[in-house]
Amino acid sequence: MCRPFDESKIYISQYATLSKNSKGRKKQLHPDSYRTEFQRDIHRIIYSQPFRRLRHKTQVFFLPNNDHICTRMEHVFHVASASRTVARHLQLNEDLAEAIGLGHDLGHSPFGHHGEDVLKDICEDQGLDISFQHEINGLRVVDKLAELDREPESGLNLTYEVRDGIISHCGEDFGSNLITPEKEDKNLEDIKNRRDALMPITLEGCVVRFIDKIAYAGRDLEDALKAGLIEENDVPKDIIDELGNNNGEIIGRLLKDLIDTSKKHENQIGLSRTKFEALKRLIEFNYDKIYGHDKVKKFEIQAKWALEIIFEYLLKEIKRTNRFTNAGSVCLKIPVIQFLQKFVNKIKYSDNDKDEIIVLDFISGMTDNYVLESISELFVPKYIV
């Protein structure tokens, strides 16, 4: 009989989250003698279809035609790798930190945060009682929508601690240089917005929450320099003096400070006040000079139109065919419609799930490239002879 892998001799901090103390999965798995439960979650995430699609999802720049510009997949690898390093030095659970890091952005829509805003507006326009936010959608993805190759059911069946880290990872909160895990368990399925997600319940989740913004701040700066949006001398000298002159220096100094500062505070994760304020200024600079740059925002209206028109078309098709169940109804032989039909049949939506939610689920999983491909399939005339 298989015995669970014992990690208690590896992660010796009294605050480390051990698999044997996990709040478990929705469906129990047979024990694995060679992997911790959180390491199994790493593998369930990286072998899933939503994870593969991250390579073609926007980080900052839509559809980058440059192999050296960061995509959403590279970002999650950066977060996961850095989180594992910090967890190791704090004697926390490296596998849990890595799993949360790899899974934290699975809920992102095509076209990054702009696409997220468009889907949020669609929710409001349709009068839905949800607000599309990638953290909330991330939990929905791993619980309901994600697929592992040829497994009969959808969803990744992850541990509670990883699911909590995903829905509570929001790195845009700059309220304090130190964060403390939540003491009370949360009913994750009841969380409807990022404010109610609160802090993660584990220190490992708090590590990922901090590193999320550390990882994108310097990387986005490098990408903006490569894209010619800014020049090196545009970056304020006080930020360079405190954090360094390139992404490697920025990451190195901030991770060292995160480790050293967290060691000084019991059951808390954070940066020194000096490094925290410098990171905050860097991200403010990025918002002002990079994310708001005309070149970054150039195609936002086209991306908005694309997502809205695909939503309208697919919603009409869902309703016309009564979710592809009408006797005698003809499913249009268009690849995106056929994929939608397979998606609906795979997920097994209930009668209580609104048609609008089904279409939002489908669109949120699209890559930037697939949005453009779908527009072409649905609206661009094709040769017939």
Domains (range + CATH), the chain: 19-106+146-296 (1.10.3210.10), 298-379 (no CATH)
For residue 275, what are its two tokens?
Answer: 């490094």
Q: Rounded mean pLDDT of 320-349?
A: 86
Q: Are 356 and 132 in contact (CB under 8 A)?
A: no
Element (H, E) at 179: strand 178-179
Over the stretch 135-147, which tens digit does the pLDDT of each residue have?
999 999 999 999 8
Element (DSSP H or E) covering residue 101? helix 94-103
Residues pairing with 71 in the sheet: 58
Distance, CA of 29 to CA of 24 (rounded, Å): 9
289 within 8 A of 234, measured Cβ to Cβ: yes
Is pLDDT larger for residue 172 or for residue 344? Answer: 344
Local structure of residue 229 (DSSP, 8 states): S
* Nearest residue to 182 via CA among 153, 218, 209: 209
Residues of the chain with pLDDT > 90, as a percent, come to 75
pLDDT at position 176 over 80: yes
- Could you give the CA distance from residue 96 to residue 75 in angstroms, rounded to a whole number? 18
Q: Is the pLDDT at 1 greater than 60, yes or no?
A: no
Q: How far apart are CA 165 and CA 157, in angstroms?
A: 14
Task: Give just the sign of the alpha carbon dihedral 368, 373, 379, 381.
Answer: positive
Cite the DSSP H helix spans in 143-246.
160-167, 194-197, 203-227, 237-243
- CB–CB of 87/94 below 8 Å? yes
Helices (runs of H) and strands (runs of E) counted in the chain: 17, 2
Evaluate whether 155 touches 143 at the Cβ level (below 8 Å): yes
Give residue 171's pLDDT: 57
pTM: 0.95
- Could you read off the pLDDT of 244-300 as tens digits, one per residue? 999 999 999 999 999 999 999 999 999 999 999 999 999 999 999 999 888 888 889
The pLDDT value recorded for residue 330 is 62
Of the candidates 110, 112, 170, the residue with the CA atom closest to the CA atom of residue 136: 170
Residue 312 φ/ψ, nearest 5 degrees = -60, -45
Contacts of 225 (CB under 8 A, 6+ apart): 231, 232
Cα distance between residue 242 and residue 256, in whole Å:
13
Confidence of residue 164 (pLDDT cuts 50, 70, 90): very high
Question: Tokens standing for 54?
Answer: 């991250």
Report d(CA 223, CA 236) in Å as an integer.
17
- What angle do the packed helices 94-103 and 160-167 form, to 10 degrees? 50
pLDDT of 243 higher than 90 = yes
Per the listing, tokens 């990872």 go with 169
Does the pLDDT value for residue 328 go beyond 70? Answer: no
Task: Using pLDDT thresholds of 50, 70 and 90, give the confidence band for residue 59.
Answer: confident
pLDDT of residue 314: 97
Round to whole Å and give the CA distance between 236 and 191: 39
Quote the pLDDT of residue 13.
85
Other CB atoms within a 10 A radius of the CB of residue 67 amount to: 6
In what helix (H) or strand (E) does residue 178 lie, and over which residues does it extend? strand 178-179
Task: Report the alpha-carbon distance of residue 146 to residue 247 in Å, rounded.
Answer: 32
Nearest Cα to Cα of residue 40 among 51, 29, 26: 29
Give the phi and the psi of residue 357 in degrees, each rounded to 5.
-65, -40
Q: With 70 as the cut, is the pLDDT of residue 152 above it?
A: yes
